[in-house]
Chain A
């Protein structure tokens, strides 16, 4: 009869070590297994967070490590929360957040509703639609920069075709009015498939017998849509909105590739502003306070997100 792997391992364990392990309680053995993960978590997540909170109360500058560090209390927070430039970057973030979520939900839900209708080539279309989501933000940023080129960019030619305007008469990335919309278009193009997938999961979770019952009651398609489809997909939509909201609040890579925060500071989102304060102006204490403000905001949103997620699970 062949021995089990556990028996073989037990036999291979040196006697002194085996004796030591035998003396340990189950709880102690469990701690031995969990300890490396806890240690990693503390070193990589918790310690930097506590250190950042500590730095946020100081005037520390990372490019002058030998300068004496002074504790200045809540002054960094006071400066940030009365700084009109940071307020403007928050407004740029709000514009980006609101419009990306609006378009992604609108287009994502419509696509999911269409894909949910059974037709030939359904799976192929789903795969094609989902492709942008799988690309790297750096790649997307780079090729949309080419698409937005006023002389050779395809985007300008498409707009010119429909409006009759000269393709080189407007510059999506160089115009103060158009640049905030340029980043909204790219993020919508990239992340609408994600919202579509979540909505599709919601639509497919609605049992057919509810629609059959509605048909028997002679409810119109319009009525069925507003009283069955929308309420039942709503928790999924909420989830998509919260998820995209949190992600876009931290948006950095795509916008840096596209505009670098320009022209001027019209597309300087909160995370880009934070990077400038931390690694261009080297105001480490100040930027730590800024990071904590963003962290608390994202943490708060994440709490709502978890609550919404639990509601979906309970359904």
Chain B
């Protein structure tokens, strides 16, 4: 866990890509879940942030 946080603080690609992946997966889940309308409403912004973040952080050093 401390490695992960250190990686985030030092702007390393691996942990940041992990965060972006989690955001994309969360956004897709929110888009398709049958439980709450508010989750559906905010799903797009979560996916968009995850996707844009993924594009940016994939240029970070390993």
Contacts and interface: CB of A to CB of B under 8 A. Distances in A.
Given A297-B27, A304-B24, A94 B33 contact: yes
B61 interface: no
Interface SS of B by simple majority: helix
B41 A300 contact: no
Interface residues of B, number: 24
A185 interface: no
A97 B41 contact: no
Contacts of B47: 296-297, 300
Given A303-B24, A303-B55, A94 B32 contact: yes
Interface in B43-61: 43-44, 47-48, 50-51, 54-55, 58
Contact of B51 (A91, A93, A97, A299): A299
Nearest to B29: A94
A81 B48 CA distance: 14
Contacts of B25: 304
Contacts of A91: 32-34
A293 B21 CA distance: 17
A299 B54 CA distance: 10
Nearest to A304: B21
A113 to B, nearest CB: 28
A37 interface: no
Nearest to B54: A303
Contacts of A296: 44, 47-48, 51
Interface in A207-249: none
Nearest to B41: A81
A90 to B, nearest CB: 5
B28 A297 contact: yes
Contacts of A97: 32
Nearest to B45: A81
Given A304-B24, A307-B21, A84 B37 contact: yes
A301 interface: yes
Interface core residue of A91, A93, A297, A301 (most chain B CB under 10 Å): A297
A305 B29 CA distance: 16
Contacts of B50: 300
Given A94-B33, A300-B47, 19 more contacts: A77-B44, A81-B42, A82-B41, A84-B37, A87-B40, A90-B40, A97-B32, A297-B27, A299-B51, A300-B24, A300-B27, A301-B28, A303-B24, A303-B51, A303-B54, A303-B58, A304-B21, A304-B24, A304-B25
14 contacts: A81-B41, A82-B37, A82-B41, A87-B40, A91-B32, A91-B34, A97-B32, A293-B44, A297-B27, A297-B47, A300-B47, A300-B54, A303-B20, A303-B51
Interface of B: 17, 20-21, 24-25, 27-28, 31-34, 37, 40-44, 47-48, 50-51, 54-55, 58
8 tightest Cβ-Cβ pairs between the two chains A and B: A94-B32, A300-B24, A300-B51, A303-B54, A81-B41, A91-B34, A87-B40, A90-B32
Interface of A: 77, 81-82, 84, 87, 90-91, 93-94, 97, 293, 296-297, 299-301, 303-304, 307
